[in-house]
């Protein structure tokens, strides 16, 4: 039974130590991502998607081209 108490005490101390080290590393910037922002600019073009176009609608420019083509024939 004494070994169980000793093991639980060591476990709590180790967990506290790891928690302290984790928060200290977060505070000092150990886990800051410095690589991704510099590479993100290389892939910005891939993130931009073209707006979907509706092929059933025509614009005035399309109509004027059609009219010019039919007049020239």
Q: Is residue 9 part of a domain?
A: yes
Distance, CA of 29 to CA of 24 (rounded, Å): 9
pLDDT value of residue 38: 77
Total domains present in the chain: 1
Q: Is residue 41 part of a domain?
A: yes
* Run of H or E residues at 62: helix 60-72
Distance, CA of 30 to CA of 35 (rounded, Å): 13
Q: Is residue 55 part of a domain?
A: no
The rounded mean pLDDT for the chain is: 77
Task: Please write the tens of the pLDDT for every residue from 44-65.
Answer: 765 555 555 665 555 555 555 5
35: confidence class by pLDDT, cuts 50, 70, 90: confident
Global pTM reads 0.47
DSSP string, 12-26: HHHHHHHHHHHHHHH
Q: Is residue 59 part of a domain?
A: no
Q: Is residue 65 part of a domain?
A: no
73: confidence class by pLDDT, cuts 50, 70, 90: low
Q: Mean of the pLDDT values across residues 10-14? A: 98
Q: The domain containing residue 1 runs over which residues?
A: 1-50
Neighbour count for residue 24 (Cβ, 10 Å):
10
């Amino acid at each position: 039974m004494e070994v169980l108490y000793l093991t639980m005490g060591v476990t709590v101390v180790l967990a506290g130590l790891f928690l302290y080290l984790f928060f200290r590393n977060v505070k000092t910037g150990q886990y800051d991502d410095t690589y991704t922002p510099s590479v993100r600019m290389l892939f910005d073009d891939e993130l931009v998607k073209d707006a979907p176009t509706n092929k059933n609608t025509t614009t005035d420019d399309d109509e004027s081209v059609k009219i010019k083509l039919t007049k020239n024939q």
